[in-house]
Amino acid sequence: MIIAIDGSAASGKGTLARGLAAYLGFDYLDTGALYRAIALSLLNAGADINYINEKQAVKEAALLDLELTQSPEIRNDRIASLASKVAALGPVRAELLKLQRTFALTPPQGGGAVLDGRDIGTIVLPNADLKFFIDADIDIRAERRTKELLQSGQSVMFSDVLTEMKARDERDRTRSVAPLKASDNAITIDTSSMDEAEVLALALSHVDSAFSPKQ
Ligand code: DC
Q: Which of 6, 8, 30, 31 to mutate to test the pocket of ligand 1 (most atoms within 8 A of CB)?
A: 31
Per-residue pLDDT tens over the stretch 131-176: 999 999 999 999 999 999 999 999 999 999 999 999 999 999 999 9
pLDDT (tens digit per residue) in 68-96: 999 999 999 899 999 999 999 999 999 99
Angle at 95 between CA 101 and CA 133, to 5 degrees: 50
Among 170, 41, 51, CA closest to 96: 41
Between CA 61 and CA 175 the distance in angstroms is 19
Asked if residue 86 has its Cβ within 6 Å of ligand 1, the reply is no
Buried b (16+ CB within 10 A) or exposed e, 138-163: bebbbbbbbeebeeeeeebeeeebbe
pLDDT tens-digit profile of 101-138? 999 999 999 999 999 999 999 999 999 999 999 999 99
Closest Cα partner for 111 from 123, 119, 103?
A: 103
6 CA from centroid of ligand 1 (Å): 9
Residue 9 is classified by DSSP as: T
Q: Is the CB of 116 inside a 6 Å radius of any atom of ligand 1?
A: no
Q: Which residue, judged by its Cα, is nearest atom 18 of ligand 1?
A: 117
| Residue 91 neighbours by CB distance under 10 Å | 13
What pLDDT is stored for residue 214 in this prediction?
Answer: 65
Residues 181-201 have pLDDT tens digits of 999 999 999 999 999 999 999
Instruction: Report if pTM > 0.85.
Output: yes
The strand ranges marked E within the chain are: 2-7, 27-30, 113-117, 130-135, 187-190
